[in-house]
Structure 1
Amino acid sequence: MVEFKIQMEGEKKFLVCVALLLLAVRYGESSCYRVPQPVPTEITKTCRDDVDGTWHAAGESWNNTDCVRCACSVELMSCCTMYGRPAGYSEDCIAVFDRQNCLYRVHLKNDSSIKCTVSAMVGK
């Protein structure tokens, strides 16, 4: 009976680890999306970027003005952000998105000339 209890505790730990891993994978993928293409024909071998309204041929990749990198195929269009969101920095700091360079800059809230240390990035 003691062996059974130990085995069950080990299984619970394993399941908790698996659940945490699945959550990490889900949130790691949160910066990407995929859009299935209609049934392929000569006309539908293109993808439309809804951000910029531009059309791209199958096999082409591009960056749009929202700092998202997309790729077009006959089957789908897949897009992912080109940046990660900073995490694990001091409460005295603030993250400000630099759209021109597609990245976050983290600095002290009351002094933008002093950069803050970031211990993790989410996405990308």
Structure 2
Amino acid sequence: MKTFLACLLVLAISVTLSNASCFVEELKRESDKEVPGCTDFEGKFHEFGSQWETKNCMDCSCSRQGIGCCTSYATPINFDEEKCEAIFNKLTCSYKVVEKDDHTKECPVFEWVG
């Protein structure tokens, strides 16, 4: 029973620490007729149940409710901002935190969100 409660506590804490940037855009219907999928922000069509990654590092999916997207990366929020800076790599969809004066030296990050 103690193990179960400990697992439950860890789960509750991890859910509250999760802070992904997500949104849902409702499906737009031009008429009363049934639509077979979603049209994304670039005008591309996606069938219901499909998933894709955007060029802006968002993981998206199409459902009958609309398009749901979340960032596919974590953002550093707790590091020495006077000495270090966060640099985003759009090719790998990830941040690297490095010293401002020497980008070859990484800085410790104590908290990430996303």
Secondary structure, in 3 states, of the residue corresponding to 1:113? coil
Secondary structure, in 3 states, of the residue corresponding to 2:104? strand
Choose from 57, 64, 72 the match for 2:62.
72
User: Do the aligned residues in 2 keep the contact of 1:45 with 1:73 (CA within 8 Å)?
Assistant: no
Amino acid at match of 1:116: C
In 1, the alpha carbon distance for the partners of 2:33 and 2:85 equals: 48
1:110 aligned partner: 101
Aligned pair 1:87/2:57, yes or no? Answer: no
- Normalised by the length of structure 2, the TM-score is 0.75
Aligned residues: 96
Gaps of 5+ in 2: 1-14
Deviations 1:85-113, CA, capped at 9 Å, x for gaps: 10111120000100000011110001110
Larger radius of gyration, structure 1 or 2? Answer: 1
Kindly report which structure 2 residues correspond to 1:1-124, keeping only aligned pairs within 5 A, or say none.
Answer: 28-29=19-20, 31-38=21-28, 41-42=33-34, 44-50=35-41, 52-90=42-80, 91-123=82-114
Which of the pair is proportionally richer in helix? Answer: 1
In 2, the alpha carbon distance for the partners of 1:116 and 1:41 equals: 55
In 1, the alpha carbon distance for the partners of 2:90 and 2:111 equals: 20
